[in-house]
Structure 1
Amino acid sequence: MIPEDRLLKPWTLIRVFYLRIGATWALTLCETALIALVPLFIGFAIDGLLTGQTTALFQLAGVMAALIVVSVIRRIYDTRVFGTVRVEVGRTQATRASAQPVSILNARLGMGRELVDFLEVEVPLVMTALVQIIISVIVLYAFDATLALAAGCAVGIMFAIYGLFHKRFFRLNGVFNGQTERQVSILEARNAPRLLTHLLRLRRMEVRISDAESALYGSVFAVLLGLVVFNLWYATTHVAVTPGTIFAIVSYSWEFVEAAVTFPMALQSWSRLSEIIQRLNTSVA
């Protein structure tokens, strides 16, 4: 049960359900570490098979078998844990906001689920991305420091780009959520022109948010794909490598890209969630 004197925030949910959420995140980190090791062991297996050795191939099979077991257990456990958290958040909202109009309460119940979704989806994605980035940088540095330096520069540019979008995401999501809170009262009025106006406003805000997302992701992808091209060029022209090493460098460069692009997505979700947290706690702050 969530204490009455606690605001509805991610940290509050973590403190109340720390054992269950901690267990899911531990499984996530274990799964991520195994995923991050796969390209490296594939590279070892390639080099081993080219020389007639199968030891690295069996090691790769062992890593992948462990990955399957951990990932299945995590997914089964996650659903049950965060389902319970959603129930408690909804019950707390209904108790605290019993005097609010139904339209607002209905909308905020959906927003409360987004609070839990952030812990279930976004936070593990960020944790996964951090592990993948750290392992990718270590592996790239082991081949050549320039490869790791290029990756670090790409992350710095990516965060700078996101900084230009944060306030816009917060403002647009605030307008969207405010319009959503009016939906039930608009439906109760059974006024077709008013309903059409409401739906058109929602569409207009969704388009604006989508346009901002597209501009952000396009800019970030351009930077990160430039990293892959640079590392491939540098590895083939400045580093003495084997076919397996080339595969590992390209794989970890691309894995770095996949992990790094998670941060703008998570930060955008945090921009939206920040506005939701402020809205959910308006009546109890």
Structure 2
Amino acid sequence: MILKDGPITIPVLLSSFWRRIGLTWVLTLFETALTAFVPLFIGFAIDGLLAQNMAALWRLVLVLAALIGVSVARRAYDTRVFGTVRVEAGKAQVARSPELPVSTLNARLGMGRELVDFLENDLPLVMAALVQLVVSIALLYAFGPMLALAGAVAVIAMLLIYVLFHHRFYRLNGRLNQQIERQVRIIDIREPHRLLSHLSHLRRIEIRLSDTESILYGAIFIILLGLVVFNLWYAATALPITTGAIFSIVAYSWEFVDSALALPVTLQGWSRLSEISRRINSLA
């Protein structure tokens, strides 16, 4: 067994499978770098075509072809790596929890898979988002420092908003996980009124989580869309640049928005995983 004694946490999974996961991250960063420069090459291609020059268009085609090749290879490799991690994490959970009721163990096996899902989906997403944010800020700064300053202010405001919601996400996810642990036992009792009460309770918690997410992302969208509108206005009215450059500014502003949204998604996932890690490493 690869995972021996000790808690099953994100750092432990990373240290146990660091070579395999590290390669997926290298591929992810390469894919992200190619993606981040696509709007810039599109802007160059627009200006080149307007000047009857095809060279910039062919450079764009090469970048897109490389992006497709790397994306396909990474996804095929990811499935195999993280499938192995899920198997090893499940084996370790079962081996360490011989006294747990079947209902609780069943629920915690599902929760343990969420740790691996975070490594496979959420963590590469935030890595890609950070790379895109840095590239976007750098290129926006190259077009005009005010554009980059607006982006930095938007990120700070977004993170401050998330901090206000963190405790509520942690508490609601704790209630949801606790109720899920009881599910198999309640089904086994075969009492319709208890099953209905259980499902209704799950529904109420999920509604509270959804409402909290809606308020959080509504506030964040207002800030980020305000950034896009400001940068478009500023680029078109205050900067002496070409049509292709204006397109690149708008594209990078929108890419900035798309990348910035990955940060609260990941932070919200981390709130849930913090509660899950505490729960699955408990013997009770």
The TM-score range, normalised by the shorter chain, is over 0.9
- In the aligned structure 2, how far is the partner of 1:2 from the partner of 1:200? 40
Q: In structure 2, how many angstroms separate the alpha carbons of the residues matched to 1:206 and 1:275?
A: 16
Give secondary structure in 2 for the equivalent of 1:164. Answer: helix
Q: What are the Cα deviations for residues 28-52 of structure 1, in whole angstroms up to 9, with x where unaligned?
A: 0000000011000000000011111
1:95-244 equivalence runs, <5 A: 95-244=95-244
3-state SS, counterpart of residue 223 of structure 1 = helix
Alpha-carbon distance in structure 2 between the residues aligned to 1:283 and 1:24: 33
Distance 2:4 2:86 in 1: 16
- Equivalent residue, structure 1, for 2:13: 13
1:245 and 2:253 correspond: no
Listed as ranges, the gaps of 5+ residues in structure 1 are: none
Task: Give per-residue Cα distances to partners, 1:262-281, cap 9 Å, x unaligned.
Answer: 10111000000000000011
Runs of 4+ in 1 over 2 A off after TM superposition: 1-6
Displacement after TM superposition at 1:4 (Å): 2.8
In 2, the alpha carbon distance for the partners of 1:231 and 1:90 equals 48
TM-score between the two structures when normalised by the length of structure 1: 0.98
| SS of equivalent to 2:206 | helix
1:137-171: per-residue Cα shift (whole Å, max 9, x none)? Answer: 01100000000000000000000000000000000
- Mean Cα deviation higher: 51-60 or 245-254: 51-60
Q: Tell me how far apart the structure 2 counterparts of residues 179 and 277 of structure 1 sit (CA, whole Å).
A: 16
What is the CA-CA distance between 1:175 and the residue it aligns to? Answer: 0.3
Task: For 1:99 and 1:282, locate their aligned partners in 2 and report how far apart those are by CA, in whole Å.
Answer: 12
**Displacement after TM superposition at 1:282 (Å):** 1.1
Q: Take 1:111 and 1:3, find their aligned partners in 2: how far apart are those partners? A: 17
Q: Which amino acid aligns with 1:13?
A: L
Name the CA distance, whole Å, in 2 between partners of 1:177 and 1:2: 27
Residues in 1 aligned to 2:95 and 2:220: alpha-carbon distance in whole angstroms: 42
Q: Quick one: distance in 2 between partners of 1:269 and 1:151?
A: 24
Shift of 1:241: 1.0
Mapped to 2, the partners of 1:207 and 1:230 lie a distance apart of: 34
- What do residues 51-100 of structure 1 show as CA deviations (whole Å, max 9, x unaligned)? 11111111100100000100000000000000000000000000001110
Give the superposition deviation at 1:7.
1.0
Amino acid of the structure 2 residue aligned with 1:200? S
Q: What percentage of aligned pairs have identical amino acids?
A: 61
Q: Report Cα offsets for 1:104-158 as digits up to 9, x if no partner.
A: 0000000000000000000000001001000000110000000000000000000
Which amino acid counterpart does residue 74 of structure 2 have in structure 1? R
Q: Which amino acid aligns with 1:156?
A: I
In structure 2, the residue matched to 1:65 is: 65
Matched to 2:55, the amino acid is T
What is the one-letter code of the residue matched to 1:113?
Answer: R
Instruction: After TM superposition, give the deviation of residue 5 of structure 1 in Å.
Output: 2.7
Question: What secondary structure does 2:98 align onto?
Answer: coil
Distance 1:267 1:3 in 2: 26
1:274 corresponds to which letter in structure 2? S
Provide the C-alpha distance between the structure 1 equivalents of 2:94 and 2:240, rounded to a whole number of angstroms: 64
Q: Deviations over 1:12-38 (max 9, x none)?
A: 001000000000111000000000110
Match of 1:56 in 2: 56
Say if 2:3 and 2:88, in contact at 8 Å, map to a contact too: no
